[in-house]
Amino acid sequence: MNENIEWWRGAAIYQIYPRSFMDANNDGTGDLRGIIQRFDHLINLGIDAIWISPFFKSPMKDFGYDVSDYRAIDPLFGDMHDFDELIALAHSNNIKIIIDQVPSHSSDEHPWFLESRESRDNPKSDWYVWADAKPDGSPPSNWLSVFGGSAWEWEPRRSQYYLHNFLDSQPDLNFHNPRVREAILDYMEFWLKKGVDGFRLDAIIFCFHDPELRDNPAKQSNDNFMGSRMQSPYAMQEYKYQHTQPENISFMQEIRALLNRYPGTVSLGEIGTDDSISVMAEYTKGQNRLHMAYSFDLLGENASVAHIREVVETSEDKMRDGWPCYALSNHDVMRVVSRWGAKANGHVLAAAKAFNVLLGTLRGSFCVYQGEELGLPEADIKFEELQDPYGMTFWPIFKGRDGCRTPIPWQATASNAGFSDAKPWLPVPIEHQTIAVDVQEKNTSSVLNAHKEFLAWRKNNPVILYGDIEFIDVSNHIIAYQRKNSESELVVYINLTPEEQQIEIDNNKSLKVSNDFGAIEASFSNNVITFSPYSCFIAYLV
């Protein structure tokens, strides 16, 4: 990698959901030592960084995204010695460590909240968002929780409501209070001193709220991703006052100023709102805000060529100062091979390869969620097996996030697929065992080996890492684009359908085929590319 370019530009980031990666102490839940135990898998993948979802002390009502101590590791995941060892192991293998930070809210078991709720005049009384009831006793505003119902919860100790944008056990911190911002930055610096290389900032748009608590207006359309996927009334409001407030920019600048004191560290913001790309552009503008951001625009059900192209071209147009990061799956959404229809049409493995190539050939950095390197489909979790409160609330219209959070299958014939000797916190589906890591390692044409080969090829191609992108008009079924820098040009064609496709191309330059990394390759003859289902064609222009 060019030493003059920041490591995170064009980086392949692997997201680890620690509960489900590997269980080293056989209690049924994955842990930090499990990551250490399976670190060879990460090395062999050829990734640049790992992003670890929360492992902080927590009552686990939202599985770690409800933090009760920002500086402590929950015993479920291990201890600080385990984390120190993991940091050292990663750095010795030139792999960066990014950790989740959850600044907008805490657990209701956090000492700050326990003190704040006791009275209206204690030292932490204004560390959370408190408000009086309306004269009729109803909540202060019409704001709704992402997880269902009002975003306000009554607290009898204060005879006031407190704000929670998610579960009622996740009260929102009051970022209008400078002491809160100082405290949040202080705990972030704690982890920087431990040696982390950056932060993924969860729900970062929710830090500030409208201090006047004005009602959100009704929404004119029902296309809000976070709400419409489970038919929630959350989709019925325009979130003009509840989040994405102008004051958030100043907090982004404070985060960047902190990170600038630790050279080589990076910030990655999660942006989940309407017109996310405009917000991403605003939050990454210039050199004094976030380094990168990603949105939910490619984490929905729309897998059309037109939609993907629109997302990327809009990002390119609006994020002229910032750097995009893309993801096709994560711990909050259905796995991509199921969400984009490949499981239903019977082409899971071919599609998994194609989607990984798509993600890794766009301009920007990208996050691969654990299991995507295996082509895991969404697990079908029975209601009695559910752990996610989100799914319990909206079942059966929305079944929650457990289906994408099941344990990684390491060994096809081992108990619980080698994840744990104990009963796992979520079941391991039989269909996942058949495509376990040990099976795929022995199969030269597997999704896993194709992904390894692709990442190795990508790492040696600066035009893919940093080059410009320009889309090519082909058809409604083939996504096509050119990647170009001062030294080389290449073209990428990917069939995103389960049907065979054929296109004729007219190039002024000769094509040197470069698709030699295990993905299903389209055939090329006499300027005609013939695509099998979910196949790829990549070639240099020479």
From 31, 66, 202, 402, the catalytic residue = 202
- Residues 252-267 as b/e (b if ≥16 CB within 10 A, e otherwise) read bebbbebbeeeeebbb
pLDDT tens digits for range 150-169: 999 999 999 999 999 999 99
User: What are φ and ψ of residue 394, in 5° steps?
Assistant: -105, 5
pLDDT tens digits for range 327-354: 999 999 999 999 999 999 999 999 999 9
pLDDT in the model for residue 225: 47
Ordered alpha helix ranges (H), 165-212: 178-194
- Cα 150 vs. chain centroid, distance in angstroms? 26
pLDDT tens digits for range 46-87: 999 999 999 999 999 999 999 999 999 999 999 999 999 999
Q: Which of 392, 3, 498, 487 has the alpha carbon at shortest distance from 167?
A: 392
Query: Given a cut of 80, is residue 377 above it in pLDDT?
Result: yes
Active site residue 202: yes
Q: How many CA atoms lie less than 13 Å away from 202 in the CB half-sphere?
A: 24
Is the link from the previous residue into 140 a cis peptide, with omega within 30 of 0?
no
pLDDT in the model for residue 505: 87
pLDDT in the model for residue 511: 75
Active site residue 499: no
- Cα 74 vs. chain centroid, distance in angstroms? 22
pLDDT in the model for residue 64: 97
Q: For residue 293, give every residue at least 6 positions away whose Cβ sits within 8 Å of its Cβ, in sequence order, or none.
A: 268, 269, 270, 271, 279, 280, 283, 284, 322, 324, 325
If one counts every other C-beta atom within 10 angstroms of the C-beta of residue 486, the result is 9
Q: Give me the residue label for tokens 């065992």.
A: 433
Query: Given a cut of 70, is residue 244 above it in pLDDT?
Result: yes
Provide, rounded to the nearest whole percent, the portion of the chain with pLDDT above 70. 95
What pTM value is reported for the model?
0.96
Q: SS3 sequence, 380-431?
A: CCCHHHCCCHHHHHHCCCCCCCHHHCCCCCCCCCCHHHHCCCCCCCCCCCHH
For 58, the token pair is 């927590």
User: How does residue 4 score in pLDDT terms, banded at 50, 70 and 90?
Assistant: confident
pLDDT in the model for residue 227: 41
pLDDT in the model for residue 195: 98
Q: What are the angstrom distances between the C-alpha of 18 and each of 23, 51, 55, 93?
A: 9, 10, 7, 20
For the residues 412-441, what does the mean pLDDT come to? 98
For residue 504, the SS3 value is: strand
If one counts every other C-beta atom within 10 angstroms of the C-beta of residue 453, the result is 16
pLDDT in the model for residue 527: 86
Beta bridge partners of 504: 528
User: How does residue 3 score in pLDDT terms, banded at 50, 70 and 90?
Assistant: low
Do residues 353 and 450 make contact, with C-beta atoms less than 8 angstroms apart? Answer: yes
Dmax over CA atoms of the chain, in Å, equals 79
DSSP tag of 9: T
pLDDT tens digits for range 461-517: 999 999 999 999 998 999 999 999 999 999 999 999 999 999 998 776 677 776 666
At the top level of CATH, the class of 468-541 is mainly beta
From 270, 297, 388, 402, the catalytic residue = 270
- CA 258 to CA 234: how far, in whole Å? 34
Secondary structure (DSSP) of 228-292? HTTT-GGGGB--TTTS--TTHHHHHHHHHHHHHTSTT-EEEEEE-STTHHHHHHHHT-TTSS-SE
Q: Which of 274, 364, 359, 361 has the alpha carbon at shortest distance from 319?
A: 364
- CA 102 to CA 69: how far, in whole Å? 11
pLDDT tens digits for range 181-232: 999 999 999 999 999 999 999 999 999 999 999 999 998 865 544 444 556 7
- CA 296 to CA 311: how far, in whole Å? 10
Query: Given a cut of 90, is residue 367 above it in pLDDT?
Result: yes
